[in-house]
Structure 1
């Protein structure tokens, strides 16, 4: 292999995995829900999910190659076309739920960028609640983004990539500023480091609730299904790829653990996070605002100046997160949909769905997708009783829907290993018994985390409403996928 053909080195692959997986916002969410106890969950998720699952994806990607290689092709070869389509449609559905969740949250960083704090809960007009107004604004956002995306978004994505850099820089801000605060306070933590397996959050006191938190830990390592395509681009993949996965797991889990610990330097849970206006939608901005405030106090500023300092920290976070959300949104309005339509048999879809406009976008399908997202937003925003419930349910819906497709890939892996006639240049799981044991453990972990998350509201006495919301997406999209595939089967029979 010539130097120009040489694949990615170990360092380059670790860096790529880190930037793809590590998310700044996962730290504040973990601290808000479980305090220091979340550290153990994140480390366990790295050991029992991140490493084995990533290596499974690497084996899929190395054995089943080609232009249309991906989730559908992997599962079609391993199990069946019907199974592959339902799983791929569920994967696409997870991005629909992500758009529902994020379009409703995107105005939190936007208002924070201008005002220094979340202003969405203060919106009210025409007799509508703040949640309902945010829902209507989210619908307008979705329609606008779809309209612009259909025209082509290359320029916009380049601009919004600055948001990604800003969000990445927040990790450095947290590290440096927390260090200064810790020294200034004589090593004293704002949140005492004790009872590591207990949570300061009243909603996460029971063992069941703590197990439900596992879905957040798994979600923090999301996006691993894309790693399969990297095997062929890696130098000496048999040695380099497993090493990169293990090193990445260590680096990312240590990064999360350090970040969660550092939040305890500036943020006392009961003092800062127990208010009714704090929720899973604005937690990052609340904690960054407080970090700036505590930094101001640590360097001797008066209270008014420290408050201003906190607002500027929140503004910077809000601007970065808004730009990052925007960039992701413009990409995800067409990318998963296009992958679904172009990566599955064309006869599955009405002709209008498969037609690409002059910008290479499936415009008709994108407007159908937009209508679906808008409908779900309206039902969710007008059905929620308060902002906290609204954002919490949206976050849980997104976590469950994004982690469920992993179950299809894990379930199919032992079947993939038994398939004959495949060229397997990269293998980690060489024993079939090891494959079954590892797949079973990871499958139970992901399934259990989702089940605990879904049933927790009922066990805690909150009623079945939140559980119904979390189940509605997966069940609804499963039914749609089965109907689409059965219609395809019927059409094929008639054609024959």
Structure 2
């Protein structure tokens, strides 16, 4: 076995947890949730954690332990539980959406960096070689994608180092929020900034725009999708140290920490942030609310220490800068993981003949050729969007709508395949949470129904609000990716039928 592969198979428990934390936990979901629903966000997070995230994590842990020798991640899981065509459609749709995610983040990642350096978003004024701001960010995005691909193509060790830094930065950001909130709470003698007059504070929203049933259902969808991304690192089970023990443990620890972290974080924001005074301004929005909240935390700490107003404001500004730095590092970590992990799963799991040329070739445990093809596709889209004017910008907006549902619909494929997986007695299952057929069926129905509802509501919400075009494009996305996947798979079956059967004494694995 090659040295690169050996190195890749030694992902310890803590780095694994940090990779999961980086890929799933979004710190900005905490201030955004408080901005949308106040304390009323907490029950929705707990509900979606109970009905989706924790049982879904248990499912991933069972899949991961049973298929610990498989390199194809979610494709292999669904293939062996249901059939190859079902697995390829779900995995291809999921993978395609991550390319659009890469394009989107490659240009937006500079906003938190700008906040870290300048204390505010100055990207609209950036210019290189006389280019406009949009073109400059596009050029930086191209350089970013190429650099990340180059580093990531050198193996999992380089990826895990970056994601560990990103995971640590986000963990520290949450520690700052937690202990900063406790300090302000103690200094104010237990008085919280956003008062809890009654139990209704944990149901209703202080945000005037989130008073209706429709708005609350929209927030439930937001909470469910805040838990997304777990299946990405689930594909790394074959590269985890003692996978049958560490992989399920890493998933379960991460699931519990993330569920508690979201709920506790939202409550802590309320201890030092009065919604009406701090977030009620028209200048506060979903894009900058994280910086506003943490700026306020720094200011409140300075105020609690009895420091002058100017000093308190300066502390607040530095807290906002730290948010920018942490978010930049977290996005960097996620970018490295998502540049490699989804591609690894779809390439290593599927038959090599599905892919043209040398795309399926694995070198030193890494699908290097495929990574550079992926990089080229992302770069072309970035250049088209950045330099193509308004028509290209509108096209990219439609692409984002197309992947909006396509990115999360594979959760339905995965959870839907779970009952078939449990019933298949030929699959050895060293780790089981759902021990009976009844509990497996209940978990499958609850998780699948929860995600299916979230996707259905995401699709119809724009139409309900009068934006039929967005609804249509969100339907077009999964349909288009499914058709492409079907065409690719049918082509593979046609090639396979035409290929002559060669008698050989050597075993030639079809999966690479």
Q: 1:349 to 1:215 in 2, by over 3 A?
A: same
Give the Å deviation of 1:131: 6.5
Q: Please tell me whether residue 412 in structure 1 is matched to residue 420 in structure 2.
A: no
Q: Deviations over 1:360-415 (max 9, x none)?
A: 422542334324652785599947999xx98xx96x88774443211101111122
Q: Secondary structure at the match of 2:432?
A: coil
C-alpha separation in 1, matches of 2:409 and 2:322 = 34
Q: Please tell me whether residue 109 in structure 1 is matched to residue 115 in structure 2.
A: no
Match of 2:427 in 1: 422
C-alpha separation in 2, matches of 1:188 and 1:311 = 24
1:306-455 to structure 2, matched below 5 A, reads 306-355=312-361, 360=366, 361-362=368-369, 363-371=371-379, 373-374=381-382, 378=386, 382=390, 400-455=405-460
1:28-107 to structure 2, matched below 5 A, reads 28-68=31-71, 70-107=73-110
Give the Å deviation of 1:447: 0.9
User: In the alignment, is the contact (CA less than 8 A) between 2:15 and 2:164 conserved in 1?
Assistant: no
Q: Please tell me whether residue 142 in structure 1 is matched to residue 145 in structure 2.
A: yes
TM-score by length of 1: 0.81
Pick from 202, 212, 215 the counterpart of residue 209 of structure 1: 215
User: In the alignment, is the contact (CA less than 8 A) between 1:212 and 1:450 conserved in 2?
Assistant: no
Pick from 186, 189, 194 the counterpart of residue 191 of structure 1: 194
User: In the alignment, is the contact (CA less than 8 A) between 1:218 and 1:403 conserved in 2?
Assistant: no
C-alpha separation in 1, matches of 2:190 and 2:323 = 26
Q: Secondary structure at the match of 1:333?
A: helix
Match of 1:480 in 2: 484
Q: Which runs of 5+ in 2 are unaligned?
A: 1-10, 501-512
Match of 1:291 in 2: 297
Worse overlay, 155-164 or 204-213: 155-164
Q: Secondary structure at the match of 1:352?
A: coil
Q: 1:107 to 1:11 in 2, by over 3 A?
A: closer
User: In the alignment, is the contact (CA less than 8 A) between 2:166 and 2:329 conserved in 1?
Assistant: yes
Pick from 176, 179, 188 the counterpart of residue 176 of structure 1: 179
Match of 2:494 in 1: 490
C-alpha separation in 2, matches of 1:250 and 1:449 = 22
C-alpha separation in 1, matches of 2:389 and 2:109 = 14
Q: 1:166 to 1:425 in 2, by over 3 A?
A: closer
User: In the alignment, is the contact (CA less than 8 A) between 2:384 and 2:392 conserved in 1?
Assistant: no
Q: 1:55 to 1:159 in 2, by over 3 A?
A: closer
Q: 1:380 to 1:145 in 2, by over 3 A?
A: farther
Q: Deviations over 1:286-333 (max 9, x none)?
A: 321222122222222333322211111111221222123223323432
Give the Å deviation of 1:83: 0.7
C-alpha separation in 1, matches of 2:392 and 2:459 = 17
Give the Å deviation of 1:173: 0.9
Q: Which runs of 5+ in 1 are unaligned?
A: 1-7
Give the Å deviation of 1:493: 2.8
C-alpha separation in 1, matches of 2:477 and 2:33 = 24
C-alpha separation in 1, matches of 2:68 and 2:208 = 49
User: In the alignment, is the contact (CA less than 8 A) between 1:97 and 1:401 conserved in 2?
Assistant: no
User: In the alignment, is the contact (CA less than 8 A) between 1:288 and 1:314 conserved in 2?
Assistant: yes
C-alpha separation in 1, matches of 2:363 and 2:470 = 39
C-alpha separation in 1, matches of 2:144 and 2:483 = 28
1:259-274 to structure 2, matched below 5 A, reads 259-274=265-280
Match of 2:5 in 1: none
Q: Secondary structure at the match of 1:192?
A: coil
TM-score by length of 2: 0.79
Q: Secondary structure at the match of 1:191?
A: coil
Match of 1:282 in 2: 288
Q: Secondary structure at the match of 2:359?
A: helix
Give the Å deviation of 1:73: 1.4
Worse overlay, 439-448 or 182-191: 182-191
Give the Å deviation of 1:451: 1.7
Match of 2:259 in 1: 253
Give the Å deviation of 1:262: 1.0
Q: Secondary structure at the match of 2:193?
A: coil
C-alpha separation in 2, matches of 1:145 and 1:231 = 25
C-alpha separation in 2, matches of 1:16 and 1:364 = 23
